[in-house]
Amino acid sequence: MAKAVVKAVKKTPTKSASKKPTARAKSNIQPHTYNIFEGVEKYFGFTKFKGTQEQAINSLLSGHDTFVIMPTGGGKSLCYQLPAMLMPGCAIIVSPLIALMKNQVDLVRGYSENDNVAHFLNSSLNKTQTNQVKADLLDGKTKLLYVAPETLTKQDNLEFFADLNISFFAVDEAHCISEWGHDFRPEYRRLREMMDEISPTIPVMALTATATPKVQSDIIKNLGLREPNVFLSSFNRDNLYYEIQPKLGKDATIKHIVKFISQNKGKSGIIYTLNRKTTEELAQILVANNIKAVAYHAGLDAKLRSDRQDKFLNEDVQVIVATVAFGMGIDKPDIRFVIHYNIPKSIENYYQETGRAGRDGLEGKCVLYYSHKDVSKLEHLMRDKPLSEREVGAQLINEMLGYAETSVCRRTVLLHYFGEVWDVSHCNGMCDNCKNPKEKIEANAKKEIIQAKKLSGDAECEDMRKTVREMIQ
Ligand SMILES: Nc1ncnc2c1ncn2[C@@H]1O[C@H](COP(=O)(O)OP(=O)(O)OP(=O)(O)O)[C@@H](O)[C@H]1O
Ligand SMILES: [Mg+2]
Ligand SMILES: [Zn+2]
């Protein structure tokens, strides 16, 4: 296994808040001839780099395998987009979701006069569209090609790519390679083998916002990164406000959500649900309440998915009600709220999904509705999985429960999960537990119980009482 060189901060646990991570001297980065300052302005219109971008970009441009661990919205895309624009040839970017590939290609094209500069190849394209992309690649106009891992499992694609001039590989959302991460994708496990078949010596950049120390070493090992420079930043998103609400049955929860959105008129938001049917149901209810909303899930055909994504990103609708199919990586800078209608199946999922909010550094409210019934639903979904997967799944759910039920600063739990030590005094009331310390929560919980007693005949009422009881224990 390759030896990792940690550049940005010391090994975990990292101390955040009290000390902002900064890059150390570049002992393993050789000089290169590319002008990255001119490039970032010319191609992206940015006047400076964020966080560890500059160091990570220099590492890749000097030919090193590079591992970038930055928070959601931290600016990981630029770490491969800029080198792709500067280097000769075309970069291959592995990306796990159709929504994400489309979002990234649209954004890169937005900076360029020429749409051919970026393309994606995945199952949403028909034969004619695929051939068009390949023709553009042969023409040498394309600098970034986003591919699904499945695209690289096809032998004729591998042979086609092997004949192209590839500048480097980037593996975005690299945690998908680890069984210990969320959203494990078996095809990610074969990436090293596939990259070797295309071109074994070119540099590889791996990027993620959600890797525990265990997942980090899994990524380095499974991608076969060769003495990578590792850039590890704090996972903290200080502009996000985290809040948990007890789920008071379906009707009460929906009423609460409608009220919340109405109070946030014109502000973009996402509602995450566990299943496809609920996305449709909720979107319909929002529309009936004069809120412009659409549903998004993997069961929709490619055209509808693409249209609904565009509607949300172009602000023709205010709210998108989505499953995890609209999660990782999506970049709309001004999403002001992310609501979880159901508890997600891991802290990583929660961190990724809430990470869609406030990417411009401004307000981002994250509200999770929590009931025991939803936890049972999650456990039920795993019933047919092999034992080992069920065990991992149960552990991830447990960690998530710990987060939902904690009475300490939410950030303490969230960041501890990723190996960071958090100084609670830096939360600045940006989570419900810091804003309303325990005594206040107890008083509120008692009020909730009285309300629950009034709601007779609601099947979820008992759940809510249980939740409330636990809150005040
Ligand atoms: N140097 C920069 N200056 C100003 N804005 C930047 C810079 N780099 C990136 N951004 C902006 O930051 C936002 C987030 O970037 P990006 O999508 O790359 O985040 P990410 O780290 O990939 O997050 P995620 O883990 O959610 O995928 C984008 O809107 C992007 O335009
Ligand atoms: Mg990203
Ligand atoms: Zn807090």
The mean pLDDT of 434-460, rounded to a whole number, is 53
The mean pLDDT of 92-115, rounded to a whole number, is 92
For the record, the structure tokens of 45 come out as 């219109």
Residue 49 Cβ contacting ligand 1 at under 6 Å: yes
Residue 341 Cβ contacting ligand 1 at under 6 Å: no
Ion ligand 2 residues within 5 Å by Cβ: 76, 329
Percent of the chain topping pLDDT 90? 74
Q: How confident is the model at residue 437 (pLDDT cuts 50, 70, 90)?
A: confident
Per-residue model confidence (pLDDT) at position 307: 94
Is 70 exceeded by the pLDDT of residue 10? no
Residue 96 Cβ contacting ligand 1 at under 6 Å: no
Atom of ligand 1 nearest to the CA of 329: 27
What's the CA gap between 278 and 426, in Å, rounded?
37
Within 13 Å and on the Cβ side, how many CA atoms surround 127? 0
408 Cα: distance to centroid of ligand 3 (angstroms): 7
Are the beta carbons of 72 and 356 closer than 8 angstroms? yes
Per-residue model confidence (pLDDT) at position 444: 53
152 Cα: distance to centroid of ligand 2 (angstroms): 20
Residue 364 Cβ contacting ligand 1 at under 6 Å: no
424 Cα: distance to centroid of ligand 3 (angstroms): 6
Render pLDDT for 152-189 as a digit per residue (tens, 0 to 9): 989 999 999 999 999 999 999 999 998 776 678 888 99
The mean pLDDT of 405-416, rounded to a whole number, is 96
What's the CA gap between 445 and 307, in Å, rounded?
43
Atom of ligand 1 nearest to the CA of 333: 29
136 Cα: distance to centroid of ligand 3 (angstroms): 50
Per-residue model confidence (pLDDT) at position 443: 52
Atom of ligand 1 nearest to the CA of 104: 17
12-18-20 Cα angle (round to 5): 70
Residue 78 Cβ contacting ligand 1 at under 6 Å: yes
Per-residue model confidence (pLDDT) at position 449: 41
333 Cα: distance to centroid of ligand 1 (angstroms): 9
Ligand minimally distant from the alpha carbon of residue 429: 3
Is 70 exceeded by the pLDDT of residue 21? no
What's the CA gap between 252 and 260, in Å, rounded?
12
What's the CA gap between 372 and 246, in Å, rounded?
10
The mean pLDDT of 347-353, rounded to a whole number, is 95
Are the beta carbons of 392 and 181 closer than 8 angstroms? no
Residue 76 Cβ contacting ligand 1 at under 6 Å: yes
Are the beta carbons of 337 and 240 closer than 8 angstroms? no
Candidates 68, 76, 100, 268: which one to mutate for ligand 1, based on the most atoms within 8 Å of Cβ?
76
281 Cα: distance to centroid of ligand 2 (angstroms): 29
Residue 331 Cβ contacting ligand 1 at under 6 Å: yes
Per-residue model confidence (pLDDT) at position 20: 36
What's the CA gap between 344 and 374, in Å, rounded?
9
Per-residue model confidence (pLDDT) at position 466: 43
Q: What's the helix, strand, coil split of the chain in %, to 5?
A: 45, 15, 40
Please name the residue whose Cα sits nearest to atom 12 of ligand 1. 75
Atom of ligand 1 nearest to the CA of 76: 21
Residue 327 Cβ contacting ligand 1 at under 6 Å: no
What's the CA gap between 214 and 340, in Å, rounded?
27
Q: Which residues contact 437 (CB under 8 A, 6 or more apart)?
A: none
Percent of the chain topping pLDDT 70? 86
For the record, the structure tokens of 443 come out as 């008083």
Please name the residue whose Cα sits nearest to atom 3 of ligand 1. 46
Q: How confident is the model at residue 139 (pLDDT cuts 50, 70, 90)?
A: very high
